[in-house]
Amino acid sequence: MDILLQVAIILACLFYGARKGGVALGLLGGIGIVVMTFVFKLPPGKPPVDVMLTIIAVVAASATLQASGGLEVLLQGAEKVLRRNPKYISILAPFVTCFLTILCGTGHVVYTMLPIIYDVAIKNNIRPERPMAASTIASQMGIMASPVSVAIVSLVAFLAKAPIGGHVIDFVMLLSISIPSTLAGVLAIGIFSWFRGKDLDQDKEFQQRIADPETRNFVYGESATLLGKALSKSQWSAMWIFISAIVVVAILGAFPSLRPLVNGKPLSMVLTIQMFMLLAGALIIIFTKTDPMAIGKNEVFRAGMIAVVAVFGIAWMADTVFEGHLKELKAALADVVKAYPWTYAIALLLVSKLVNSQAAAISAMVPVALAIGVPPGYVVAFGAAAYGYYILPTYPSDLAAIQFDRSGTTRIGKYVINHSFILPGLIGVSTACAAGFVLTSVRGLL
């Protein structure tokens, strides 16, 4: 009975912390840890220090890129692609936002693209809901395909402790599965979005709205664009430094022999990522005119530090409970997990919705899953299920898409759950999980 009460406390902390938002989610974990240790007398678990340090290094580099203006180079290039191919925006826009996330490691880059996507769609009489809802979903799905995302580096750290047949699922092998499976999910979203909803000229509600000249001017408005904006050499330098660091990390992951030996083994990829992300940030500061004071003030840095606190509190609390009852959990759940491994994906999806973070969901669920006997191959195959916070339209990028869509086609339905993002999310994540399962099977990891 103790474990049921303890799990209830964990859920209560998650629910309340998620409602409060921000760093509250991680801080509420402190209540759980104190209660478990001082009331239930459980030995405190181990906070995921390696994961937290990697998050800090990656976020510092990404935030430095944003502060330097190097991010605008990528955004301007993305806009050129969309404006040259407006008819295909429902498919191109989600791929563009996904690729931006893959490069930058954060889905927050979508905010700048949303008004541009809307402008391209509405000026070409394409229902804005189609590319906008798809783009916000795709931007978050890209997290599980990014070599510098918090979620991926966290997953690499956990998988390093769970070898299969003496071999670890390393950084490169993980990405070789997560990238194509993510792109398969994004393609499915794009195809669905191409046909979703009524065309604007057939949408009576939309036509009634724009019948008023003032509303029509508001809906069609002035163009939002980054084209024509002069980019400095320092912005280009910052962008190339950041991308070069990602490329070097990928090469070192693919060829362990290039890494120095530590105690007879190649330097771990967790430490390698940390080193080169810090190096990238330092080089950007040295070779550009980036103000170091601006780094800690931008959105990428704030969101990243919130993720650190969330991972700290949630993972530590969960580890304390599940480590304290590991034998009972293995006895009770091992057979279920072996017979129905897909139950792990559902659990991960639901936890992700609770914590509104893929990194936090992975930090809370993966160590527990591996400990009770979920094969590492299934953890990799169903990695896309870490994105479940589209289920309710409460995530900032979803709300931003609704706000930027002046046509009113991207919206929350009467029953809340019937919103513009639910179908693209379900289609994208389920397709990515199915593709991940196939790819993992082909690689012999299941």
Instruction: Tell me phi and psi for residue 265, to 5 degrees.
Output: -125, 150
* pLDDT interval class at 265 (50, 70, 90): confident
* Spatial CA neighbour of 278 closest among 48, 71, 54, 50: 54
* pLDDT interval class at 134 (50, 70, 90): very high
Residues 268-290, buried b or exposed e (16+ Cβ, 10 A)?
A: bbbebbbebbbebbebbbeebeb
Q: Indicate if the pLDDT at residue 151 is higher than 80.
A: yes
Check residue 38 and give its pLDDT. Answer: 94
Q: Indicate if the pLDDT at residue 427 is higher than 80.
A: yes
* Rounded alpha-carbon distances, angstroms, from residue 307 to 54, 105, 125, 363: 11, 13, 39, 11
Name the H helices within 222-341: 233-254, 269-287, 292-295, 299-324, 326-339
Average pLDDT of the residues in 39-43: 89
* pLDDT interval class at 8 (50, 70, 90): confident
Check residue 18 and give its pLDDT. Answer: 64
* Spatial CA neighbour of 153 closest among 264, 40, 276, 39: 276
Q: Indicate if the pLDDT at residue 304 is higher than 80.
A: no
Q: Which helix or strand (DSSP H or E) is residue 262 part of?
A: strand 261-262
Q: Indicate if the pLDDT at residue 333 is higher than 70.
A: no
Check residue 437 and give its pLDDT. Answer: 95
Q: Indicate if the pLDDT at residue 156 is higher than 70.
A: yes
Q: Indicate if the pLDDT at residue 158 is higher than 80.
A: yes
Q: Indicate if the pLDDT at residue 287 is higher than 90.
A: yes
| CA gap 431, 95 in Å, rounded | 15
* pLDDT interval class at 270 (50, 70, 90): confident
SS3 265: strand
Q: Indicate if the pLDDT at residue 224 is higher than 80.
A: no
Check residue 48 and give its pLDDT. Answer: 76
First-to-last C-alpha distance (Å) of the chain:
34
Least confident piece of the model among 60-69, 81-90, 408-417: 408-417
More confident of the two residues 339 and 37: 37
Check residue 241 and give its pLDDT. Answer: 95
Count CB-CB contacts under 10 A for residue 434: 17
Check residue 334 and give its pLDDT. Answer: 65
* Rounded alpha-carbon distances, angstroms, from residue 380 to 106, 171, 266, 344, 372: 20, 11, 23, 11, 16
Check residue 330 and give its pLDDT. Answer: 67
Check residue 385 and give its pLDDT. Answer: 95
Sign of the dihedral through C-alpha 269, 271, 272, 277 = positive
Q: Indicate if the pLDDT at residue 238 is higher than 90.
A: yes
337, with CB counted inside 10 A (0-12, 13-18, 19+), is buried
* Spatial CA neighbour of 75 closest among 264, 247, 239: 239
Average pLDDT of the residues in 368-379: 86
| CA gap 56, 59 in Å, rounded | 5
pTM equals: 0.79
Over residues 393-404, the pLDDT tens digits come to: 777 788 888 888
Over residues 319-330, the pLDDT tens digits come to: 788 778 777 766
Q: Indicate if the pLDDT at residue 143 is higher than 70.
A: yes
More confident of the two residues 380 and 393: 380
Copy the structure tokens of residue 162. 């769970």
Range of 98-102, 334-338, 362-366 with top mean pLDDT: 98-102
| One-letter amino acid of 18 | A
Check residue 185 and give its pLDDT. Answer: 97
| One-letter amino acid of 349 | L
Q: For 117-143, give the DSSP string.
A: HHHHHHHTT--THHHHHHHHHHHHHGG
